[in-house]
Amino acid sequence: MELITERLVMRLVAAADLDDLVALHEDPLTRRFFGEMDRQDVVEWIARSEREWAERGHGRMAILDRKSSTFLGRSGLKHWPQFDEVEVGWVLAAAARGRRIATEAARACLDWGFRDFDLPYITAMIGPDNAASLAVAERLDMEPLREDTLLGEPVVVFAVHR
């Protein structure tokens, strides 16, 4: 499964992405919003994503530059069983930030999610102090649905409907 946009290629996260994902999660801004993840945590995260792909037909995706194949971050669709909702998410490497890559990747995931899955809406769970991600949600025409807690942290749950 690949999603291709004007600037990006997105494909299933795989073991080959381990070093890039570890580096992504060592970034201070990523740690601020997603917490600490060491190499073993990332290995387990990849395995969970692979299981979700097998069980649900969607999961996390690596974002690559379409021209250079450089790893830019991750996006994709994630089912949260505790909410019975599917979330679009995004995390970018420092060099990819500020170029609207998150918006482009998330929009491709939303289009795919509504095209290929029977989802009435798709969420984005964003920390209330994550200004960059709040701006991405706004550009995606997502609207606040509720305040909640995800992995012990407060989030604002945004949604866009089919």
DSSP 75-87: EEEEEETTTTEEE
Is residue 10 within 8 A of residue 34, CB to CB? The reply is: no
- Per-residue model confidence as pLDDT tens digits over 63-121: 999 999 999 999 999 999 999 999 999 999 999 999 999 999 999 999 999 999 999 99
Structural domains of the chain in order of their starting residue, each with its CATH number? 2-161 (3.40.630.30)
* Residues 6+ positions from 115 with CB-CB distance below 8 Å: none
Q: Note the pLDDT of residue 30.
A: 84
Is residue 8 within 8 A of residue 29, CB to CB? The reply is: no
Residue 140 reports pLDDT greater than 90: yes
Mean pLDDT, residues 3-30:
94
Residue 153 reports pLDDT greater than 90: no
Mean pLDDT, residues 44-52:
94
> In whole numbers, what is the pLDDT of the chain averaged over residues?
94
pTM above 0.85, yes or no: yes
Mean pLDDT, residues 31-39:
83
- The whole-angstrom separation of Cα 21 and Cα 18 is 5
36 pLDDT band, cuts 50/70/90, is confident
Q: Note the pLDDT of residue 145.
A: 95
Could you tell me what percent of the chain has a pLDDT over 70? 100
Residue 33 reports pLDDT greater than 90: no
